[in-house]
Amino acid sequence: MTSTSEPTAPAAVDTATQPAAPELTPAETQLVPPPANTEAPTATTTAEAPQPTTTPAKTTERAAPETTTPEKTLEEPEPQNPLTERFTAQEWVALKEFRGALPEILANAFPDDPEAKETPITMWGVAIDPTRPRNAKVSVVLMKFLRARNLSVNDARDMFQTTLRWRKSFDIEGAMAQKYPDNLFDSMGHVYGKDKEGRPVMYNIYGGDQDLKAIFSDVQLFLRHERLMQKLDFETIDQTLQVHDYEGVTLTSRDANSKNAASEATNIFSAHYPELLYRKFFINVPTLLNWIFWAFKPLLPAATLAKMSVVGTGTHAIHKALSPFISDEELPKHYGGYAQGF
């Protein structure tokens, strides 16, 4: 009898070693992720992970700065001429302050005139309008007072104000407007020729039969000097060269009055005609007067001494001293030059 083998039953699984799957509620079933795909992955485009965003810090809004026009930010260029172009930066600073004070200066100089601070004036042939002082020639004139006071604006203001009063007391402008005989000043001084840089040269003659009292009299002296100022253009030339001829002068030829007048004249020129002298030569000076000059030399300011030269007698000595500054074509014959002279 043939026996038939029965199929072998699969081995029983030990359920004790396998945890039973927990029962899930319908709601939890929705949260279970689908089973992982065990097949080889196909090429897919992976989206870039989003970058974290940052919230900018809250800032306080500020008002935009006010825009300004070029007229507000840029100062108009100064009117210039060859003389003002030599001013230093420090001189320009002082000049602008000085110039801005002109209305007040004029009001103080002429307190009886309620319109003084707006009224133009004239000095040395240059018109100065206190309401519109930006002018190259005006700058040159005002700089004279600043340099005479070492750029101290307050001191220059005082000097300028005093000069304005002095000029009014002598009525300089009115006197200059009058006509005089051509020979009125010839015996006292001569404006003749120019130096090598174009400065007018004045020759003052003190010897011979000259009336020194008349030479140093107020009106004639300053009118003569004002005539010299008319030779300056304050564009390229703003100084003069002077030659003082003492031929024939002795200690006894000058009395006390003439000496006092000469001293007063020197003080007035220093106070009211500042920085207008380039060089001054004393020629034909007698030995004794020369000695007196050198005796007083330590009392003179260094800046003044630098402009002064004392020359002895004789054509050769005079020509040697003057020729570096005045060409022979401009120098009179009796001083060693070729010019006809006076």
The CATH number assigned to the domain holding 258 equals: 3.40.525.10
- Which tokens sit at 318? 């005079």
The confidence score (pLDDT) of residue 63 equals 47
Radius of gyration of the chain (CA): 49
Does 206 fall in a domain? yes
Q: Are residues 150 and 86 in the same domain?
A: yes
Residues 119 and 256 in one domain: no
Same-domain status, 260 and 151: no
Q: How confident is the model at residue 227 (pLDDT cuts 50, 70, 90)?
A: confident
For residues 3-15, average pLDDT: 45
* Domain end marker among 170, 196, 213: 170
The percentage of the chain sitting over the pLDDT mark of 90, rounded to a whole number, equals: 49
Residue 305, token pair as written in the block: 């001494």
Residue 91, pLDDT > 70, answer: yes
Distance CA 323, CA 336 (A): 9
CA distances from 83 to 63, 77, 96, 140 (A): 47, 16, 16, 7
* pLDDT 10s digits, 68-85: 444 444 678 999 999 999
What tens digit of pLDDT does each residue of 13-34 get? 444 444 444 454 444 444 444 5
Q: Both 232 and 299 in a single domain?
A: yes
What's the chain's average pLDDT?
79
Range with the poorest average pLDDT among 45-54, 254-263, 280-289, 294-303 = 45-54
Query: Predicted confidence band at 180 (pLDDT cuts at 50, 70, 90)?
Result: low
Residue 40 binned pLDDT confidence (cut-offs 50, 70, 90):
very low
Stronger pLDDT, 47 or 273, i.e. the higher one: 273
Q: Are 81 and 136 in contact (CB under 8 A)?
A: yes
Q: Give the best-scoring range by mean pLDDT among 3-12, 193-202, 239-248.
A: 193-202
What local confidence, expressed as pLDDT, does residue 289 receive?
A: 73
Among 123, 138, 170, residue at a domain's last position: 170
DSSP assignment of 91-148: HHHHHHHHHHTHHHHHHHH-TT-TTGGGS-EEETTEEE-TTS---HHHHHHHHHHHHH
**Cα–chain center distance at 29:** 95
257 with 304, same domain? yes
| 245 part of a folded domain | yes
Distance CA 176, CA 183 (A): 16
Both 250 and 223 in a single domain? yes
Same domain, 189 and 159: no
Could you tell me the pLDDT band of residue 38, with boundaries at 50, 70 and 90?
very low
Q: Six-digit token pair at 337?
A: 């030059």
Report, as an integer, the average pLDDT of 203-227: 68
Residue 196 contacts residue 326 (beta carbons within 8 Å)? yes
Same domain, 188 and 326: yes
Q: Which domain holds residue 263?
A: 181-335
Domain boundary among 146, 170, 194: 170
Number of folded domains that form the chain: 2
Query: The domain spanning residue 144 has which CATH number?
Result: 1.10.8
Residue type (1 letter), 112: D
Domain membership of residue 18 (yes or no) is no
**Is residue 100 predicted with pLDDT exceeding 80?**
yes
Same domain, 287 and 221: yes
Q: Taking residues 37-62, report their average pLDDT.
A: 48
pLDDT digits (tens, 9 = 90+) for 229-287: 989 999 999 999 999 998 887 766 666 666 676 677 778 888 999 999 999 999 998 87
Cβ contact 331:322 at 8 Å: yes
What's the pTM value of the predicted model, to 2 decimals? Answer: 0.73
